[in-house]
Every structure is written in C-alpha cells, then in structure tokens.
Structure 1
Amino acid sequence: MRLTMIAAVSAVALAAGAAQASAAAPLTAVTQATQYSDAQLQAFNTAMTAVRAASPTDGTAPTAEQQATMAAAIEAAGMDITSFNALATAVSTDEVLQARLAVFATPESPAGSVAASVTDAEVAQFAAAMTAVRAAAPTGGAAPTDEQQTAMAAAVSSSGLALDRFNAISGAVSTDDRLRARVQLADAQD
C-alpha cells in the first residue's frame, strides 16, 4: 500500500506537467472524464490538497509517517487509496479531468460580480468565440487589419453573445480565477 502512495505522488507530478503540455486527449481519455462525478472529483481535490501538503518538497520518497498522513487524508476525504490512485492516473492523462479539477481548486467568483453572473451557456459561447477570435487575430502583437477586425467581430457575433457581454466576460476572465478555469474547461471539452 505504501508503494501505491508513492505512485500517487508521482502521478500528481505528472498531472501538473500534463496540464501545461497537454496534447490532444485520446478518445478513451474523454470517456474516462465522464465516469467521474463532481462529488468524486471534489473528494479527490480535497485529498490531493492534503497529500501535497504532506508530501516531501525536496523530491525524496515520502517517509512512513508522511505516507500514513497521506493515506489518512485520502480516507478522510471519503476515498480509498486504490480509487485515489486510479483517479490520479486518469487526471495525469486527461485534460478534461484536469480542467474540471481546476474549477474545484479555485474559489467561487464574488457574488454580484460579472464573473459570478456568467452562465454555463455563456461560458461555452465565450470559449467558442475566443477560439475563432484567436484564429482571426494577427500574430506577433501586430495591430489587426480591417479584415481581421471584421472577422473577429463576426466571430463574437456568431457565438450568440452581444459584443458588450463578450467584452464584459473577457474583462472578468482576466481577473477571476474561477471564471478563467470554467472557460478552460469549456475549451478542453471541445
């Protein structure tokens, strides 16, 4: 059981790296994402926070005491070690699971803020519009041409969002971690 805990800690490190350098997820990874409920992911997130806190920070293998602390944290979160390790492995290869966990790891948007008022449908519309806007935008920091500006405006318009709502969401995404995580999840689900 102690060795599986070490494997879980290693999987956590892989998940962090995979989130930054994620390639296109295979179809099986997308299927995996749908088999984990929000409650399971929330329990995993709670356990992972405690496991990270108990893990050695110098890259060495955890001591028996640290392993016991990690195992207790996993069980306190309502998971068994086998399920935790399986989910850690799935997270390390599945960008949708990584994005879902990122949403759980961020605090709620402040009540009454633009970010808090953004619906799931608007998040999906915004994510789709941003993909199209990025494709039409100039590269290298150049100013957009008239044609590029027209294409970017058309991308926003075709998303179903009004330009002022798109701009409000865009401003909120830059300052609100939760909304940014929700948009990244919508991108990953595409």
Structure 2
Amino acid sequence: MRFAFLAAASVLAFAAAPAVAAPAVPAAVVQQDVTDAELASYAAAEEGVRAVQAQVQGQITAEQQAAMVAAIEGAGLTLDRFNAISQSVQAGDEILAARLAVARAPESPAGSVGATATDAELGQFATAMAAVRPIAAQLNGAAPTAEQQAAMAEAIASSGLALERFNAISGALAADQRLQARVALAAARSDG
C-alpha cells in the first residue's frame, strides 16, 4: 500500500510493500468546502502522522502505515479527506494554507489583543499594513518625515481602523503566533 501524505510545509511520502495497491488520490478540494473543524482535525492528524514518520527507517512497514491511518481517522478525518486537504494546500491554495496555519497556532492568551481582535479588525489591519509597508520601506531605518508620518496615518485611517488599535495589534504581533496567523489569513483573503 502506498500513501502520499502532504503537509503544508513539506511532502511526507511513505512507501510500503509493493504487493499492495495504492489508493487513488482524491481531487483537490475548494478551500471554502473545508470547515474550521476539519482543519483542526487535519492539524491534529498531521501531528500523529509526523510522530509515526519519525520512527520510519527505510521502507515503511504495514504497522507504521496502519498507525498513520489510525492517527488520521482518530483525528476525525477519512484518509481521502486528509489527502484532499493536503493536495489543495500543496497545490498553492493560499487561503486554505493560511487557515491551516491558524488551526495549527496555539490560542492567543485570554484577554490579549489577539484574543479580542475581530476578523474585521484584522482585515482592516492587513489593508493598512499593505498601504503602510511601501512608505516604511522608503525609511531604511530612519525616522519618518512629517509627510511620511501623515501618509502612514492616512493609510491607517482609510482602512477604517483606529490608529490606537492598529498600534495595539502591531505591538502584539511578535509575541502571538495565533495573531500572526490570523493577520496572514486576513492578508491572503484581501489579496484573493
């Protein structure tokens, strides 16, 4: 039996005894068809598959394959659904990959900026960042001129996000993986 487990970061290929036929790989899924619950299950299944993969030396055994399938099914997915999601992520579905990154990230601490930020605010933040980034790139580490400060403030204001909230989200990003993933998802959605 041969399974191709595809993860967002790398392809995990497992091959076993050639006497068993390979299952057909399902067609890629459309990211809107994948629920958040399925992505959480997928992330959990990946962990189980990787744990088994770490034990593989040479060719995969039937027991190791069974353990990988058990990890996938134990997480609440069928093998076909797991492979379909994997295939879509590997095919370059940026929004699905960004949603998966959110599912993989630990929860933001209760009461933190990341925990209280709404999807709408993060969409506004991503829009503001896209407008501010070219201005900031011109600075090369120097302090912004009054004109550049005004342009950045206008870009933030035109996003609909208050400057104070923009600064709070910006300040919280470095320490909050979930917030980083949610901002990346908002940016992917605004690009797509």
Please report the TM-score for the alignment, with normalisation by the length of structure 1. 0.81
Q: Is residue 81 of structure 1 aligned with residue 79 of structure 2?
A: yes
- Compute the displacement of 1:57 (Å): 7.0
Residues in 2 aligned to 1:54 and 1:131: alpha-carbon distance in whole angstroms: 41
Identity over aligned residues, as a percent? Answer: 54
Q: What CA deviation, in whole Å up to 9, does each residue of 1:53-104 have, x standing for no partner?
A: 1113788543332211101111111211111111110111211111101111
- The correspondence of residues 11-22 of structure 1 with structure 2, limited to 5 A, is 11-12=6-7, 15-16=8-9
Q: What CA deviation, in whole Å up to 9, does each residue of 1:23-70 have, x standing for no partner?
A: xxxxxx8x8111111122122111111111111378854333221110
**Equivalent pairs, count:** 172
Corresponding position of 2:151: 151
Corresponding position of 1:169: 169
The answer as to whether partners of 2:31 and 2:95 remain within 8 angstroms in 1 is yes
Residues in 2 aligned to 1:134 and 1:118: alpha-carbon distance in whole angstroms: 21
- Compute the displacement of 1:143 (Å): 3.6
The answer as to whether partners of 1:102 and 1:181 remain within 8 angstroms in 2 is yes
Q: What CA deviation, in whole Å up to 9, does each residue of 1:111-165 have, x standing for no partner?
A: 1112211111111111110111102223443443333222111111111111111
CA RMSD, aligned part only? 2.2
- Compute the displacement of 1:105 (Å): 0.9
Residues in 2 aligned to 1:169 and 1:102: alpha-carbon distance in whole angstroms: 18
Corresponding position of 1:37: 35
Higher strand share: 2
What SS is found at the alignment partner of 1:16?
coil
Corresponding position of 2:89: 91
Corresponding position of 2:186: 186
Q: Is residue 136 of structure 1 aligned with residue 135 of structure 2?
A: yes
For residues 61 and 89 of structure 1, do their structure 2 counterparts lie closer, same or farther at Cα, with a shift above 3 Å needed? farther
For residues 143 and 179 of structure 1, do their structure 2 counterparts lie closer, same or farther at Cα, with a shift above 3 Å needed? same
Higher helix share: 1
The answer as to whether partners of 2:101 and 2:181 remain within 8 angstroms in 1 is yes
The answer as to whether partners of 2:31 and 2:93 remain within 8 angstroms in 1 is yes
Corresponding position of 1:21: none
Corresponding position of 1:25: none
Please report the TM-score for the alignment, with normalisation by the length of structure 2. 0.81
